[in-house]
């Protein structure tokens, strides 16, 4: 069949061009290799073609870089974004897949893979939770880290029983390392004393840190104003905006699966909440459960860390666009493989 013969000839020519470029030291990915790579990444043939068009529209010299360079992929995503995405189920679905690829590229970067093995690597200001068996959970901060022990601010938590002493107390310490994971280790308190008139405790170092929950999504810091609402139940809350103002709050960080929000006063873990805020012209509503709280006694302010109910695809894409900053990427930046 003539049409089949034409396809075969075109395929051979494209393959020959790709081979010549390779032999000349060029690294440009041919269209056939690009399509194969796109299909391997979970895109349909139509979506792969749309992505190739986006790469051309974004002036990316080698579309193959989209599978290894976070910055180039951001530029391609930005060329796809716009009002049409909100109205098109197909474009919204494509964007969802591309952000999945974008997340994989992000977590391939070294800073997400390099963990810590010792409590000696904990930075000053690191927040931690201290579990005392039979009593409960306390919150504290690393004040100093010397070769023998951690100097930790006086733990704040449940009321201590009469005659309680921190000295020689066995504890379990949990902390979250930014852009990495959660860690837990068992230790004991060497001493409780005052340093410069401020009460602190000394916790013995551990070389046996257990890496627990890895970060599953990329989070961006923000100072966006928000309203917070208390819920009796999550079911039925969904993403419907509230018409009345809620508690005034400030969004501290945001990801596709959770957020942190600062409010005045104290709060408690386990609360069911709904947050409402704006990303550009888009109003976002997220619901979830308060998993932990950081309380600043001096400012009388609580930062609530909330695990969100999985948002709708369009809301998730709007959050990802904000987090990755794809809508603000300029053309032809200096890029590196892997972002």
Q: Break the chain into its structural domains and give their ranges.
A: 2-111, 119-208, 220-308
As a whole number, the mean pLDDT across the chain is: 84
In this predicted model, which residue has the larger pLDDT, 14 or 69?
69
pLDDT tens by residue, 321-331: 899 885 454 43
Taking domain 119-208, whether its CATH number is 2.30.110.10 is answered by yes
Strands 210-214 and 198-204: unpaired
Task: Check if the beta carbon of residue 324 is closer than 8 Å to that of residue 99.
Answer: yes
Least-confidence region, from 101-110, 139-148, 155-164, 273-282: 101-110
3-state secondary structure of 50: helix
Question: Which residue from 147, 194, 189, 128 is spatially nearest to 164, judged by alpha carbons?
Answer: 189
Task: Check if the beta carbon of residue 135 is closer than 8 Å to that of residue 94.
Answer: no
Question: Which residue from 245, 249, 256, 255 is spatially nearest to 271, judged by alpha carbons?
Answer: 249
Which positions ≥6 away from 119 have C-beta within 8 Å?
145, 150, 173, 185, 187, 203, 205, 206, 207, 209
Across residues 185-193, what is the average pLDDT?
94
Query: Domain 220-308, what fold?
Result: Thrombin, subunit H (2.40.10)
Distances (CA, A) of 12 to 17, 97, 255: 9, 30, 45
Residue 298 CA to chain centroid, in angstroms? Answer: 28
Task: Check if the beta carbon of residue 253 is closer than 8 Å to that of residue 219.
Answer: yes
Name the most confidently modeled range: 84-98, 177-191, 268-282. Answer: 268-282
User: What is the per-residue pLDDT for 293?
Assistant: 85
């Amino acid at each position: 069949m003539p049409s089949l013969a034409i396809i075969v000839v075109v395929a051979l020519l494209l393959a020959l061009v790709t081979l010549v470029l390779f032999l000349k030291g060029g690294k440009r990915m041919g269209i056939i290799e690009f399509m194969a790579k796109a299909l391997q990444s979970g895109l349909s043939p139509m979506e792969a073609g749309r992505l190739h068009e986006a790469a051309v529209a974004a002036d990316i010299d080698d579309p193959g870089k989209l599978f290894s360079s976070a910055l180039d992929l951001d530029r391609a995503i930005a060329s796809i974004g716009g009002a049409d995405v909100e109205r098109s189920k197909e474009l919204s679905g494509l964007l969802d897949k591309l952000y999945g690829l974008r997340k994989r590229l992000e977590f391939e970067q070294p800073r997400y893979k390099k963990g810590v093995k010792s409590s000696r690597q904990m930075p000053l200001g690191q927040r931690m939770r201290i579990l005392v068996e039979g009593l409960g959970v306390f919150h504290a901060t690393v004040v100093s880290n010397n070769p023998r022990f951690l100097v930790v601010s006086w733990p704040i938590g449940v009321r201590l029983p009469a005659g309680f002493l921190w000295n020689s107390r066995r504890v379990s310490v949990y902390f979250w390392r930014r852009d990495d994971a959660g860690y837990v280790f068992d230790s004991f308190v060497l001493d409780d004393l005052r340093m410069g008139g401020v009460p602190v405790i000394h916790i013995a170092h551990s070389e046996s840190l257990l890496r627990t929950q890895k970060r599953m999504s990329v989070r961006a810091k923000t100072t966006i104003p928000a309203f917070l609402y208390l819920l009796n139940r999550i079911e039925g809350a969904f993403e419907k905006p509230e018409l009345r103002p809620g508690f005034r709050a400030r969004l501290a960080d945001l990801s596709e699966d959770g957020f942190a929000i600062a409010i005045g006063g104290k709060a408690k873990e386990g609360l069911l909440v709904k947050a409402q805020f704006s990303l550009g012209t888009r109003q976002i509503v997220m619901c979830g459960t308060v998993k932990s709280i950081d309380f600043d006694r001096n400012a009388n302010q609580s930062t609530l860390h909330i695990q969100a109910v999985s948002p709708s695809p369009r809301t998730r894409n709007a959050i990802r666009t904000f987090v990755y900053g794809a809508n603000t990427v300029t053309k032809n930046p200096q890029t590196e493989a892997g972002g």
